[in-house]
Amino acid sequence: MAARGAQPVLLEEIWLPLPLFAALAEGDPAGWDDLLYPMFAQRCGVHVARAIDEIGFCAAAAAQAAVLGLPAGHPCARVQRRAFDLGGRCVESRRSLGDAHAFHYTVAIT
């Protein structure tokens, strides 16, 4: 979750296959590096080679809106990502949600 000051601006849910990421399961996510893909490579030996993002819009559910400091039903941008390793396996599924009025999206995975 990214934050501007103390207010979160992005809510993310990330699913990782436990057999590949067991090294992360035992630690506290608060201690994770800011850049996840280099951390995945360093700590787990998983190298992300490519990702597919699908971008859409939705209304924030009450619980999501509360985390983001928005009213329930507020328009949000939603990015759904699937990331693949060098062998083509899907190694990450991620859903990111943020205020549609402040939406700006740039991605570069190299």
pLDDT at 5: 63
- DSSP three-state, residue 85: strand
Q: What is the pTM of this model?
A: 0.84
* Sheet containing 90-99, strands listed edge to edge, beginning at the edge strand earlier in sequence: 11-15, 90-99, 75-85, 48-59
Contacts of 104 (CB under 8 A, 6+ apart): none
Give, for all 110 residues of the chain, the pLDDT tens digit. Answer: 454 567 788 999 999 999 999 999 888 888 889 899 999 999 999 999 999 999 999 999 999 999 999 999 999 999 999 999 999 999 999 999 999 999 888 877 66
Phi, psi of 24 (to 5 degrees): -85, -25
